[in-house]
Structure 1
Amino acid sequence: MTVGRNRSFDKDNALKKAMLVFWENGYPGTSLTDLTNVMGINKSSLYAAFGNKEELFNQAIEFYLNKHGVAHLAELFKTEQNLKERVRNYLLSIANMLTNPDLPKGCLICNSTSEIAGHCLPDNSAKNINAINQQTIFTLTNFFEKEQQVGNLLEDNSSNSIANYLLTLQFGLAVSARNGSSMEDLEEVINFSIGQFNL
């Protein structure tokens, strides 16, 4: 029986490094040479482990979601706090990530969403990013509908409208952070925005 040769690199660590390059430079601004240099592998190893550039990008997006995306949602379910506090903490959690000095500024999903309009992403990757955004809207809408059912949100509020508002706000915070806004700047925007909620 032939035993496959072990790769001479840590695949998860290489994927993390690829994610950071895509996050910093965007899809069109990232070359295969950029990727192989930062990942410490040659092109043959990249293709063997991850496929082509688009396939690597899609895997990097999934890595990003698992590492830097879903954690924020936990703030919404800390039911010892009222709904307004939970929404505020959800946004603050995102803002902390957006301004983390150890990470590229902004949000990889937001950056990639803006690249779709300029046809900078391959079709399958664009569909993937759009599906992620739609899933975020669905998750938030479902959350606010349940909050209405238990009496934490007024019935005349549209759960879907709130969900769309929050995603739009998240993207605005991400763009501001990428352009140099500090955590304090983003917190000020979040506090103002939460003040407008009729929760």
Structure 2
Amino acid sequence: MAEKGRPRAFDRAAALRRAMVTFWELGYEGTKLTDLTAAMGINSASLYNTFGSKERLYREAVALYDRTAGSATNRALRGAPTARAAVEAMLRGNVDTFADPETPSGCMIVLSATNCSHQNRKVAEHLAEWRRTSVAELEKRLERAVEEGELEPGTDVAAIAAFYATILHGLSIEARDGVPLERLRSTVDHAVALWDSLVRQPAGRG
């Protein structure tokens, strides 16, 4: 028999994953405490005792998303042999995740805290910082391509990174709107086809 007052044991990792899916689907402000406790299979006291607050739970959930369902960008930038291949793998890998019928549509880091009230501005800024970091990592990969001779000196890597990040974020919104996977993949095809013309534009032009 359990000791009186002892909290009920639960799988923290599994509960966090379920919280991630809930935030991903409903957004930070759209997710109520009752949504979280129902999804995680715990009561509110256990949630606060384990994770501290809704915001701290959300931040953990975002980090988990980046390591798991949202890891296509990191894998592409670190594993693809060329910058062009990295960009293509980033777009194609993310599109498959965005349109996966087994998970919420779109990207959690793009969609789950875009519209927040003033009191939750720190949450929105937290997610914006994740997006800025992702763009910066893409830019670093392009800079490496310049150093390795894949891209010409003077290539406007900042503009190229911004362009493909914008395409990626737009694909996330389209997926949430129900655009079919075939159409999303067609958009990726067109974006990848623009690579040669983009990399030929020197910095300060375009």
Contact 1:27 1:121 in 2 (8 A): no
How many residue pairs are counted as aligned between the two chains?
Answer: 192
Name stretches of at least 5 consecutive residues in structure 1 with no aligned partner: none
Q: Please say if 1:25 is aligned against 2:26.
A: yes
Amino acid in the other structure paired with 1:24 = E
2:155 is equivalent to residue 157 of structure 1:
yes
Percent identity, please.
31
AA matched with 1:102? E
Instruction: Give the corresponding residue for 1:44.
Output: 45
Shift of 1:24: 0.7
Superposition pairs for residues 82-97 of structure 1, below 5 Å?
A: 82-97=82-97
Give the equivalent residue in structure 2 for 1:61.
Answer: 62
Bigger CA drift: 152-161 or 176-185? 152-161
Instruction: Tell me how far apart the structure 1 counterparts of residues 49 and 151 of structure 2 sit (CA, whole Å).
Output: 51
Q: TM-score, normalised by structure 1?
A: 0.88
8 Å Cα contact 2:55-2:123 kept in structure 1:
yes
> What runs of 5+ residues in structure 2 fail to find an aligned partner?
1-5, 200-206
Instruction: Report if aligned partners of 1:75, 1:90 keep a CA contact under 8 Å in 2.
Output: yes
The change in CA–CA distance for 1:6 and 1:77 in structure 2 (over 3 A counts) is: same
In 2: Cα distance, 1:197 partner to 1:45 partner: 50
- The answer to whether structure 1 residue 112 and structure 2 residue 116 are counterparts is no
- Of residues 128, 131, 134, the one that matches 2:129 is 131
Matched residue, 2:178: 180
Separation of aligned partners in 1, 2:119 and 2:127 = 10
Secondary structure at 1:184's aligned position in 2? helix
Q: Secondary structure at the match of 1:27?
A: coil
| Distance of aligned partners of 1:121 and 1:165 in 2 relative to their CA distance in 1, 3 Å threshold | farther
Superposed CA RMSD: 1.9
Whole-angstrom CA distance in 2 between matches of 1:33 and 1:55: 16
TM-score normalised according to structure 2 size: 0.85
TM-superposed deviation, 1:60: 0.8
User: What is the CA–CA distance in structure 2 between the aligned matches of 1:168 and 1:120, rounded to whole Å?
Assistant: 25
How far apart are the structure 2 equivalents of 1:67 and 1:38? 19
Q: 1:120 to 1:37 in 2, by over 3 A?
A: farther
Q: Note the alpha carbon deviations across 1:137-182, whole angstroms, 9 max, x for none.
A: 2111111001011111133421111111121111100001111112
Q: Which runs of 4+ in 1 moved over 3 A?
A: 76-80
Q: Is the 8 A contact 1:28 1:120 kept in 2?
A: no
Whole-Å separation in 2 of the counterparts to 1:185 and 1:98: 12
Query: What is the deviation of 1:192?
Result: 0.5
Q: How far off its partner does 1:131 sit?
A: 1.6
Paired residues of 1:28 and 1:121 also in contact (CA < 8 A): no
Residue in structure 2 matched with residue 101 of structure 1 by the alignment: 101
